[in-house]
Amino acid sequence: MSILEQLISGLTFPNLYILLPEIIVLLTAFIVFVLELLSKSKFSITIITTVGLILAFLSTSIIKEGGVTFYGLYLVDTFALLFKAFLIMGTLFVVINFRPYFDAKKSYYGEYYYLTLFALLGTMIMVSSPNLVTFYIGLELSAVATYILAGMFKRDYKSKEGAFKYLIIGGTGTAIISYAIAILYGRTGTFDTLEIAKQVNLNNLDYGVIGGLILLIIGLALKASAVPFHHWTPDAYEGAPTPITAFMATVAKIATYAIILRIMVEAFPFVSKEWALAWAILAALSMIIGNIIALKQENVKRMLAYSSIAHTGYIVAALAAPTGIGISALIFYSLIYLFMSVGAFITLSALEKTPGWTNHIDDFKGLAKKNPVVALAMLIFMFSMLGIPPTIGFMGKLNVFLALIGSNIWWLAIVLVVMSIISAGYYLRVVVYMYMYDPVKTSRHNLAPPEVVTIGIMAIVVLFFGIYPTFFYDISTTVTSLLIASIGR
Amino acid sequence: MVPYEYYVALSGLLLVLGLIGVIIRKNIIAILLSTELMLNAVNIAFVAFDMKLADVSGQVFVFFILTIAAAEAAIGLGLIMAIYRLRKDVDVNTLTELKL
């Protein structure tokens, strides 16, 4: 047997069946890429992207059993499929709102569509990585595409400045994460999370493991914008076009939470006390600083950016209790955060089309008199982010709170409750301005059909599943038990 | 033969140097170069650990990092071009429109 034959006989064909959602998203991106060069037809680009995303969403449900492919570099399990379905759905609701917004802002480029699809593909690779190499590639694919998206506003300096800050701090985060991977590789000799888990336990903690773990947590916290590594978030979110902000604040963020959970639980299950303390401190800082700085924001988009930092705090607070309840609370909160955040940012993007709208809080004066339906939807999203009972945001916070109490981490539970009360200051301010003032300007707000659909669906989901949270509760509990069962694999 | 610890120490030094550069430099091109320096420090660390373990997967990872560093540099230079066209300036002290 010649050397070439030996080489070929060692190759196996990848199991493409379980990669179906990724393949559909990638093909759609390539088709849009070519079509954008050839025809410039805005209508067909939107339709093809939408149809591709719907097909990808449906294809996540026809995969009957998962598996490992690409020589153990790619893992499709229930956890990955669940997050992929929600990531695709979030992207779908963001993408359909591109055209009305960019047409109104005179900043239309066909590039937005395929770059968003590439970023989505990166997040999908990220959530199904059993290996640090795959994780790194997915993270960078989504990050690099998002840097471009954030800076693509035509002739707008703020967009470029926000994107540049994001690039520099994101690039630093990349370097820190890859250095952490290098140290862990040097210590354990492998990139596979389960192999790392076998070699890292309480009896052999040394400087290599601790240094690698600390650097990895810093890098991941930087990508998830936890305080004190949050400085890029408000600038990048404020500068980016609002639908892109919606994408960054939901799809990219949720994939980051998912991969934080996966790496911590799968690669370091036997040192969970150590990383739980680190995440508890980061969560407390994020809640305190994010909420307090949000109080003094006059710009609603920037206020929502700080609120997203605070939400990072609420979500990673669940990691402080590394039990089944804590993991399930994290999954529950990340999934429902998609709905309220997409809803709030798309409402903002719909209002921003009005001439003279600057996202300043004064612009919201008397919105309820001019456009009662939009004001009601905004009220629902604000109440949900604040965590008022009939909305789903309350259930998310309640789950995290119960998980913290179940693990006797009272100080963090108290911080969570106190900071939720403080956050009422800025969420309710928007509501007060909308309902208790008279309109200053008489400009009308015209909503495009996709925006009506998105805002309507998100408001109904937030209300309906707030009354009936069993659906989300069941799926997060099931996924958690499967994830825990896979630790000793 | 140089022991691998020396290379690891060098890479750590370069990483810290890059981090300091990102924090204290005032020119946006120099800041971008500092992030590239950090990524190259990681490459040295990977090759050094690779030498210690007598493995090849670390060297494969270096290729991924090289590609990503190139992509980031391309985007960063593009953004610097766009910023320079709009402002005729590359100094971070005067390029501050987004503030707390």
Contact residues on chain B for A168, CB-CB shorter than 8 A: 22, 31-32, 35, 76
| B86 inside 8 A of chain A by CB | yes
Confidence of residue B100 (pLDDT cuts 50, 70, 90): low
pLDDT of A55 reads 96
Residue A446 makes CB contacts below 8 A (sequence gap 6+) with A353, A354
Average pLDDT estimate for A354-367: 88
Contact residues on chain B for A172, CB-CB shorter than 8 A: 19, 22, 35, 38
Mean pLDDT for all residues in chain B: 91
Contact residues on chain B for A152, CB-CB shorter than 8 A: none
Average pLDDT estimate for A327-338: 94
CA distance A419 to A202: 34
CB distance A157–B75 less than 8 Å? Answer: no
Asked whether residue B76 carries a pLDDT value surpassing 80, the answer given is: yes
Average pLDDT estimate for A268-297: 93
pLDDT of A204 reads 81
Of B38, B55, B87, the CB nearest to A175: B38
CA distance B32 to B21: 9
CA distance A344 to A379: 9
Average pLDDT estimate for A41-49: 92
Percent of chain A at pLDDT > 90 equals: 74
Tens of pLDDT along A172-190?
999 999 999 999 999 998 9
Q: What are phi and psi of A221, to 5 degrees?
A: -65, -35
Q: In 3D, which of B90, B16, B60, B4 has the Cα closest to residue A164?
A: B90
- Do A265 and A322 meet the contact criterion of CB atoms below 8 Å apart? yes
Q: In 3D, which of A340, A310, A330, A308 has the Cα closest to residue A401?
A: A330
ipTM score for this prediction: 0.96
Q: Which residues is A75 bridged to in the sheet? A: A68
* Chain A residue closest in CA terms to B54: A189
CB distance B75–A186 less than 8 Å? Answer: no
Of B64, B72, B100, the CB nearest to A144: B72
| B15 inside 8 A of chain A by CB | yes
CA distance A83 to A487: 19
CB distance B82–A151 less than 8 Å? Answer: yes
* Separation of CA A9 from chain center: 41
Asked whether residue A201 carries a pLDDT value surpassing 90, the answer given is: no
| A186 inside 8 A of chain B by CB | yes
SS (H, E, C) A402-425: HHHHHCCCHHHHHHHHHHHHHHHH
- Do A483 and A330 meet the contact criterion of CB atoms below 8 Å apart? no
- Do A263 and A79 meet the contact criterion of CB atoms below 8 Å apart? no
pLDDT of B22 reads 93
Q: Report how far apart, in Å, the C-alpha atoms of A419 and of each of A167, A253, A397 are.
A: 30, 21, 11
CA distance A270 to A205: 10
Asked whether residue A489 carries a pLDDT value surpassing 60, the answer given is: no
Contact residues on chain A for B96, CB-CB shorter than 8 A: 161
| Residue A75: its H or E element | strand A74-76
Asked whether residue A465 carries a pLDDT value surpassing 80, the answer given is: yes
- Do B47 and B56 meet the contact criterion of CB atoms below 8 Å apart? no
Question: Measured on CA atoms in the order A352, A357, A358, A359, is the torsion positive or negative?
Answer: negative
Domains and CATH numbers, chain B: 4-87 (1.10.287.3510)
Of A161, A167, A293, the CB nearest to B75: A167
Q: In 3D, which of A346, A337, A435, A348 has the Cα closest to residue A394?
A: A337
Asked whether residue A488 carries a pLDDT value surpassing 70, the answer given is: no
Token pair 């990048």 is found at: A236
Contact residues on chain B for A133, CB-CB shorter than 8 A: 57, 60-61, 64
Residue A228 makes CB contacts below 8 A (sequence gap 6+) with A285, A289
Average pLDDT estimate for A40-49: 90
Contact residues on chain A for B49, CB-CB shorter than 8 A: 182, 185-186
The residue among A16 and A402 whose pLDDT is bigger is A402
